[in-house]
Amino acid sequence: MTISYTRAGQFGVDSSGYITNSNGQYLQTFPVDALGNVTSTSLNTTLPIQLPASTGAPRATSEVEIGLNIDASSTALDPTAFDPTSSTTFNHSTSTTVFDSLGASHVMTYYFVHDLPGSATNAANDPSGFSTGRLTEIDISEEGLIRATFSNGVSTPMGQIALAEFPNNQGLQNLGSSNWTETIDSGSVITGIAGSGRFGLVQSGALETANVDLTAQLVNLITAQRNFQANARSIETSNAITDTIIQIR
C-alpha cells in the first residue's frame, strides 16, 4: 500500500461504501474499540473506512425491566379467572415492543390482577434488543472519531481519522493533486489524533479556504496583464522605428 498525505479535506463515498477523495484514494483511520477508544496510532495499523448499509444481524430481546405504580384501592379479582380477552378479569395492562432473533418486532402485553392489598414499584421499561437498521447518519467529532448511526437507534464507532505531520513540511515531495509523500528531507512521519500534541481539531462539514484575498489578487492579475500589454506595444513601436531608420540608410 502506497501512503500519501494531503491537506485537502473534501471526501465522498464510492460505490463500495468506502470514504474516498476525488482521486479515489481511501481515507485512513486508526482502529477503535466498541466504545470509540483508539487501540493503536501506528501508521501500519491504519485501515480504510467502509460504511455498512445496515447494522448487520439483529439482536433478540433478552431482558425487559418494567416498573409501575398500581392503585391499591383497585378491586380485588380472582387470578384463576384471568382472561386476556376480558377486561373485567384484570385491573391494568401495559405493552412494550420486543424483537426476535430475526429482528422482527412484537408487542408484548403485561396484565395485572389485584388479588392482595396493593404494593407498588417504580422503574421504567427497557427492552434490550433491536431490529436490523439502515444507515441514516455519519458523524465526525472534533477528535476525528467517525461514528455511524442507524435507524434502529444503534450508534457504532467506525474509526479515528489518522493525522500526520513532519519535522520539515517543506521537504515533502509533491505528487500532484494535493498529494505529498515523505522524503529524507521531510524527516520521518509523526502520527496522532486530533486534539492531542500539536494536532488541531477536526471541523466536520467545512473546507479550508484560500489564505489570500481573491478579489485583490484578481485585480493585481488584471493590472499585471495590462502592464505586459503596454510593454509589448512599446517594444513593437521601438522595432518599427528601428526598421524605418534602417530602410532610410
d(CA 206, CA 11): 11
- Please tell me which residue, 134 or 193, carries the higher pLDDT value: 193
Residue 218 included in any domain? yes
Has residue 46 got a pLDDT over 90?
yes
Residues 75 and 61 in one domain: yes
Instruction: Give 211's pLDDT tier (boundaries 50, 70, 90).
Output: low
Provide the domain limits for residue 178: 12-55+135-192
Average pLDDT over residues 198-214: 77
Q: Using the Cα atoms of residue 38, residue 39, residue 42 and residue 46 in order, give the sign of their dihedral.
A: negative
Establish if 217 belongs to a structural domain.
yes
Asked if 73 and 25 sit in the same domain, the reply is: no
Specify the pLDDT at position 119: 42
Does 1 reside within a domain?
Answer: no
* Residue of 152, 207, 189 whose CA lies nearest to 22: 207
Tell me, yes or no, whether 30 and 87 share the same domain.
no
Is 83 found in the same domain as 40?
A: no
Evaluate if residue 246 carries a pLDDT over 80: no
C-alpha cell at 232: 509589448
Kindly state whether residue 115 falls inside one of the protein's structural domains: yes
Mean pLDDT of the chain: 82
Across residues 125-135, what is the average pLDDT? 64
pLDDT at 130: 65
Site of grid cell 389485584: 114
Whole-number pLDDT of residue 196: 87
| pLDDT surpassing 70 at residue 147 | yes
Q: How many domains does the chain have?
A: 3
Cell numbers 391494568 correspond to what residue? Answer: 92
Residues 80 and 19 in one domain: no
User: 205 in a domain, yes or no?
Assistant: no
Question: 66 and 185 share a domain?
Answer: no
Is 150 in the same domain as 180?
A: yes
Per the domain annotation, does 105 fall within a domain? yes
Q: Does 62 have pLDDT greater than 60?
A: yes
Whole-number percent of the chain with pLDDT over 90: 26
pLDDT band per the 50, 70, 90 thresholds, residue 191:
very high
pLDDT above 60: residue 117: no
Grid cell at residue 141 = 467529532
